[in-house]
C-alpha cells in the first residue's frame, strides 16, 4: 500500500472537494499536511479533522494567483514541518458564466486563467525549489479530462486552462527529471464536487454530462484522492511528465452508451 510516512505535503484547495479528501488521505498515510485555501474556515476544518484522527496538519490562507501568497505558503510548509516533498497544485475554479467564446466575458476568462493556470505556475515556481532543498519529491497538478474532449456543456476558459496545465506539467517534468523531482498531472473526469455541481446546476445539464460516462455515474472526490496518493508516493517512482486519467471511461468512449 502507498505510504507517505515522514513526508511533508502542501495541498491547495484543501477546504473542500478533491483537496480536502486528499489532505485527509495523505495524513492518514503518514504525511504532515499544509492545508492551503483562500477559504480559511474550510482549511481549518480540514486540519481539525486530520488532528482529531491523530494526524499532523496546519492551515494556511493563500490566493494561488498571487506570487506573494504562493511564496508565503511554501515558506509556511518549511517553517511548520521543516521541509516540503509533495506539492499538490489542486486549487481551481469553474465559473458559472464560463460558456462559449462569444458568451464568456474577458473577465471570466482572465480570472479562470489566473487561478487554474497561473496558480499552478506560481505553485511550482516557489514549491519546486523547496522540494529540491528537501532532496526531491513529487509535484501533482490537477488538470481535467476536458483537456482532451470538447465539453458537452460549453466552458471554454476552464477547458483551455486545463490544457495549459497539461503542457506546463510536461515541460516542468523534463526540466527537473534529473533532480529527483517528478511532475505529473491528475486529470479527473466529472466528479461529484460542489464545484461541478454548481456548474451543472440543472438536472438536464447533469444528465447531459452523465450520458457520456461509460460507468454511468459521477466520480467521488475520495477516488481522486486515492489517485493523487499514488502519484505522491514512491509507488509511482518511474512516472514523470505523465497524465493520470481517472475519468470513469469518458475519454475512451466513442459513442454514447445505451
Per-residue pLDDT of the chain (258 residues; tens, 9 = 90+): 789 999 999 999 999 999 999 999 999 999 999 999 999 999 999 999 999 999 999 999 999 999 999 999 999 999 999 999 999 999 999 998 999 999 999 999 999 999 999 999 999 999 999 999 999 999 999 999 999 988 777 899 999 999 999 999 999 999 999 999 999 999 999 888 777 777 776 777 777 777 788 898 889 999 999 999 999 999 999 999 999 999 999 999 875 545
Contact 33, 50 (CB under 8 A): yes
What whole-number distance in Å separates Cα of residue 12 and Cα of residue 63? 9
Cα angle for residues 123, 124, 126 (degrees, 5° grid): 75
Active-site residue flag, 126: no
Q: Which of 126, 158, 238, 254 is catalytic?
A: 158
Q: Provide the CB-side half-sphere exposure for 27 (13 A, CA).
A: 26
Quote the pLDDT of residue 202. Answer: 76
Quote the pLDDT of residue 60. Answer: 98
pTM of the predicted model as reported, rounded to 2 decimal places: 0.94
- Nearest C-alpha neighbor of 244 from the set 147, 176, 153: 147
Quote the pLDDT of residue 191. Answer: 87
Domain range list for the chain? 8-241
Q: What are the grid coordinates assigned to 112, written together?
A: 479562470
Kindly list the distances between the CA atom of residue 19 and the CA atoms of 74, 80, 104, 153, 249, in Å, as whole numbers in the listed order: 17, 19, 27, 24, 22
67: left (phi over 0), alpha (psi -120 to 50) or beta: alpha
The CATH superfamily holding the domain 8-241 is NAD(P)-binding Rossmann-like Domain (3.40.50.720)
- Nearest C-alpha neighbor of 126 from the set 183, 52, 74, 66: 74
Cα angle for residues 99, 101, 106 (degrees, 5° grid): 90
Kindly list the distances between the CA atom of residue 8 and the CA atoms of 12, 27, 57, 87, 108, in Å, as whole numbers in the listed order: 14, 9, 9, 9, 34
Quote the pLDDT of residue 255. Answer: 57
Residues 6+ apart with CB under 8 A from 103: 97, 154
Amino acid at each position: 500500500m502507498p505510504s507517505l510516512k515522514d513526508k511533508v505535503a502542501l495541498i491547495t484547495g484543501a477546504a473542500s472537494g478533491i483537496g480536502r479528501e486528499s489532505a485527509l488521505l495523505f495524513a492518514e498515510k503518514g504525511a504532515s499536511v499544509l492545508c492551503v485555501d483562500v477559504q480559511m474556515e474550510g482549511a481549518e476544518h480540514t486540519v481539525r479533522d486530520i488532528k482529531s484522527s491523530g494526524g499532523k496538519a496546519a492551515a494556511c490562507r493563500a490566493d494561488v494567483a498571487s506570487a506573494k501568497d504562493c511564496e508565503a505558503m511554501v515558506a509556511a510548509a518549511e517553517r511548520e514541518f521543516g521541509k516540503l516533498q509533495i506539492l499538490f497544485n489542486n486549487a481551481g475554479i469553474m465559473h458559472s458564466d464560463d460558456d462559449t467564446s462569444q458568451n464568456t466575458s474577458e473577465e471570466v476568462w482572465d480570472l479562470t486563467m489566473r487561478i487554474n493556470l497561473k496558480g499552478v505556475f506560481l505553485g511550482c515556481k516557489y514549491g519546486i525549489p523547496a522540494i529540491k532543498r528537501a532532496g526531491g519529491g513529487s509535484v501533482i497538478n490537477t488538470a481535467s479530462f476536458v483537456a482532451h474532449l470538447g465539453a458537452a456543456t460549453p466552458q471554454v476558459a476552464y477547458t483551455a486552462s486545463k490544457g495549459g496545465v497539461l503542457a506546463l506539467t510536461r515541460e516542468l517534468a523534463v526540466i527537473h527529471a534529473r533532480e529527483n523531482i517528478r511532475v505529473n498531472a491528475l486529470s479527473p473526469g466529472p466528479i461529484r464536487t460542489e464545484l461541478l455541481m454548481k456548474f451543472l446546476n440543472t438536472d438536464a445539464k447533469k444528465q447531459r454530462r452523465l450520458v457520456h460516462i461509460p460507468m454511468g455515474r459521477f466520480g467521488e472526490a475520495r477516488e481522486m484522492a486515492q489517485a493523487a496518493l499514488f502519484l505522491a508516493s514512491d509507488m509511482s517512482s518511474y512516472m514523470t511528465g505523465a497524465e493520470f486519467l481517472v475519468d470513469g471511461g469518458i475519454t475512451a468512449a466513442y459513442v454514447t452508451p445505451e
